[in-house]
Amino acid sequence: THRRSAAGGVKPFLSAPMARYLLPSTTTAASSFPRNARASPAPILAPRALASRSKHARAIMAVASDQPAAPSKYPKMAAPTTGPVPADELLGVIQAAAKAGAEVVMEAVNKPRNIQYKGVADLVTDTDKLSESVILEVVTKNFKDHLILGEEGGLIGDSLSEYLWCIDPLDGTTNFAHGYPSFSVSIGVLFRGKPAAATVVEFCGGPMCWNTRTISASSGKRCLL
């Protein structure tokens, strides 16, 4: 509705119920709408105030650094050591075995695949088998008494060994078979049932321009690239 002013003009007029919904009172309007950051810029602090804040923050950090770290709710899964075999020696053999398998994969990556199916969607190529065979050759040459679990060949070696090698000669066979850059050669070693060392040779790039990067880790050492 409209209302005529004394000057003869027409002003819009809202009834009380309608005004209550469309025009909130000044006491509630500010709380009803979010504050506009542009309309209320943050105050600019003087240099003394900034220095005081910085000093206060450093004091808090100093106190926090003296506090003992909170215990993690996730227990450590890695073995405390690599056992009788030194970490450097164990990791060296793992890396040599993984790189030997990766060379087989690299040689075949741009060639046609002979694909077989172990299940409805679980395929295996000749490259899987050949990669595993060269990996096993490196491992058994260095550690004849270790137990080895290969994806293609199953368990071989001493079942009483404290070491268990877990080998995936071509991790991501489906991606490899279709030329998708997300597959690797993965080898891990358990000592007394806990992870002791591992190496992954990852393939990246794409058809006709493949490359690899190696990632390794062992107990007591940081991850190595």
pLDDT reported for residue 27:
47
pLDDT tens-digit series, residues 124-178? 678 889 999 999 999 999 999 999 999 888 999 999 999 999 999 999 988 888 8
**Residue 7 phi/psi, 5° resolution?**
-80, 0
Known binding-site residues for Mg(2+) equal: 151, 168, 170-171
pLDDT tens-digit series, residues 15-71? 555 545 455 555 444 455 555 545 555 556 565 665 666 666 666 666 555 556 556
Known binding-site residues equal: 151, 168, 170-171
Domains of the chain, each with CATH number or no CATH: 87-218 (3.30.540.10)
